[in-house]
Structure 1
Amino acid sequence: MNLILLRPDELAPVAAGSYRAVLADRRLAHLREVLRASVGDTVGVGVEGGELGRATIVALDEHAATLELTLGEPPPPALDVTLALALPRPPTLRKVLQQATALGVKRFVLFRAERVEKSYFSSHGLHAHALAEDLRLGLEQARDTIVPAVEIHPEHFGRFVRERLPALSEGRTPLVAHPGATTPCPRASIGPATLIVGPEGGFIPAEVALLMQVARAIDLGPRILRVETAVVALLARLAP
């Protein structure tokens, strides 16, 4: 955690431009056990949807930490890539959400494909509070405050491609990561993009054929990577 991320409702005004916040959850544990912080120490803070700043610890014990903070620094720029991901198994989803959020993705689209287990769509990891926790962990890692949006599309793959993907790709370059494609992944930003990543085992041929009607296939090279590794590699190449 490189940032203590606060909710707007946790801020109590103290004076013009300064606030107080009290922590009594895992952020308190992080201050005490990881940072080994003491009263008088300063830490980086941010407010969800708002600015970054610095906070001074004015009280700290095993029950709570009280911070006094000032804000004024903008969060880092977003990565203008919509990540459309065939829903992976829950542990992989957690990794992707955290890592892609840390890299600046602000819109996730989770969809169904032939090699996606139907049970994944009823997993605990898709509950709102679980998604929010993973997104917060990514923001805290990267010192960001803008919470990404997550959309879930359990409908049939063909319907998703025909009815949803055009809107997701409007004004963007649609790219589908597919091992064996003749075009290598770009190594620099190409502007706004929609990146489509398949499940473990890849898209089946019929899905590839459907995607080729609306997106350009790109390849990362001869190595076959796990989904969480491929996503990070692809986003890193598409970053400015």
Structure 2
Amino acid sequence: MNLILLFESDFTATDTVIINDRRFHHIRQFHQPAQGQRLKVGLLNGKTGSGIVISLTEQSITLEVLLENQPPAALPLTLLLALPRPKMLKRTLQTITSMGVKQIYLINSYKVDKSYWSTPVLQQDNLREQLLLGLEQSGDTVLPEVHLRKRFKPFVEDELPQIARQTRALVAHPYHASPCPGASTGETTLAIGPEGGFIPYEVEKFQATGFEAIHIGQRILRVENAVPVLLARLFPV
């Protein structure tokens, strides 16, 4: 936890918070704070700053907070990700969030197992937990938006043209594709497929919407590894 995320419900006064949940136990175990120590904090969807330890008990910690800094800038990216298997989804969501992605579409694909859509990970509270962990890791405060799209064709044909309009539209594909372009600060829409990649029909549907198929070399990476590699190449992060 590189940033202690604060919620409006933590505040007992305009500049005072009391924390007594998972965050408190993490702070006590890893930060081992003393009275007067300064910790890095940030208000969810707000500014970052510092929190000075006022008091510490076995049940809670009280901080005097000053929030005066803006969170890190978001990546100018809308990410379309074929729904990974549940265990990988948790790690991948944390990685995506920590790298500054704010618009995430989890989409269907021929190679996505139907059972993945019934995983508890996709429940709102569980998704939020993974996103918060990613924010804490990177020192960010702005929660991404996650959209679920269970039907591939209607999404690509009806919604995607407007989503990708006037952006650098790319679909990661290991075969018959161009090398990954260089870093840019321009608005980008990136589609990443499931393990084994999108099937040719799906790639063609993306291309019909104006997407360029790109690859990152001869090596085939797992989704959880391909995501940070692609983002690091496409943006000056």
SS of 1:176's partner is strand
TM-score, scaled relative to structure 2: 0.96
Q: Does 1:38 align with 2:71?
A: no
Q: Does 1:24 align with 2:20?
A: yes
1:9 alignment partner in structure 2: 9
For the aligned residues, what is the CA RMSD?
1.2
Q: Does 1:143 align with 2:144?
A: no
Contact kept in structure 1, 2:12 and 2:18, CA below 8 Å: no
> C-alpha offsets along residues 41-92 of structure 1, whole Å, 9 cap, x if unaligned?
1100000111001001111122111111111100111001111000011111
Q: Does 1:68 align with 2:60?
A: no
SS of 1:79's partner is coil
2:186 alignment partner in structure 1: 191
2:163 alignment partner in structure 1: 168
1:104 alignment partner in structure 2: 100
Question: What displacement does 1:163 show?
Answer: 1.1
Question: What displacement does 1:221 show?
Answer: 0.2
Aligned mate of 1:220, from 216, 220, 226: 216
Question: What displacement does 1:36 show?
Answer: 1.5
Question: What displacement does 1:96 show?
Answer: 1.3
Question: What displacement does 1:9 show?
Answer: 2.8
Alignment partners' CA distance in 2, 1:176 and 1:208: 7
Q: Does 1:93 align with 2:89?
A: yes
Question: What displacement does 1:7 show?
Answer: 1.0
Q: Which amino acid in 1 is paired with 2:56?
A: L
1:114 alignment partner in structure 2: 110
Alignment partners' CA distance in 2, 1:61 and 1:9: 19
> C-alpha offsets along residues 190-219 of structure 1, whole Å, 9 cap, x if unaligned?
500010000001111211222221210110
Give the total of aligned pairs: 235
Question: What displacement does 1:182 show?
Answer: 3.5
SS of 2:102's partner is strand
1:208 alignment partner in structure 2: 203
Q: Which amino acid in 2 is paired with 1:140?
A: E
Alignment partners' CA distance in 2, 1:5 and 1:90: 25
Q: Which amino acid in 2 is paired with 1:128?
A: Q
Question: What displacement does 1:180 show?
Answer: 2.5
TM-score, scaled relative to structure 1: 0.95
SS of 2:174's partner is coil
In structure 2, runs of 5+ residues without a counterpart are none
Alignment partners' CA distance in 1, 2:154 and 2:67: 45
Alignment partners' CA distance in 2, 1:68 and 1:228: 38
Contact kept in structure 1, 2:49 and 2:66, CA below 8 Å: yes
